[in-house]
Structure 1
Amino acid sequence: MAHQQFQSCIDACNECAVACNHCATACLQEPDVKMMARCSALDIECAAICQLAAASMARGGEFASAICAVCADICEACGDECAKHSMAHCQDCAKACQRCAQECRKMSGQGAGARADAALGVHAH
């Protein structure tokens, strides 16, 4: 089955989606909710793309690699934001996002430096 070769990435995506959903809800319980707005918004975006990526890989979807490339970018942004906050739910989410980003980069064949290269306009041939 196609999904077995991507199981590590599927697991990372599912774990990240759970962490992001938890973090988004926990952010709404913080004393300064306004300060947590970007964190919560990125959590919601990240959870959604992680769920889509996991489902696409499980189906052996034609665009799974492209979805995982986008997922890695969103996970990195979410992880960077969560890492700025000291709450345990944010720190746990940041770790899950980092792991998911790494797995999605591997799955999509981008490698660790792909985001930096893309930001600089460098394209692999």
Structure 2
Amino acid sequence: MPPDAPKGAVAGRGCLVVGDTALARRVCWSATLEGHAAHRLTAPKDADLRRTLAARPDAVAIVTAGDVSALQYALALRHLDASVPLVVSISDRTIARHLQDLLDHCTVFSPADLIAPSLVS
């Protein structure tokens, strides 16, 4: 990890989770249970993202309460690091499809897609 990386930054097999939702907390918890380092930023500014990306996380999950903030974070992160894989939560399927087409190394999911299987079973 670079010497200027922030305290708690992730490197090697680690992930960064952006968001202050129950699902964001759950993603961190699940990653930790699987033995991965996880660091969560609740409402980061560009400088926070830049410092955390200096630690070269393996992936970034963007799990915010709204599609607009998720889109803003996805675009900012892609601008700061063109190669880090992004996993983005977007509810609007049209926006999700456009985002996935626009950004390389980006997987987009809808929270409804995660919840639906548990409701059916």
TM bucket normalised to smaller: under 0.3
TM-score normalised by L of structure 1:
0.26
With normalisation by structure 2, the TM-score equals 0.26
Q: Which has the higher contact order (CA 8 A, sep 6+)?
A: 1
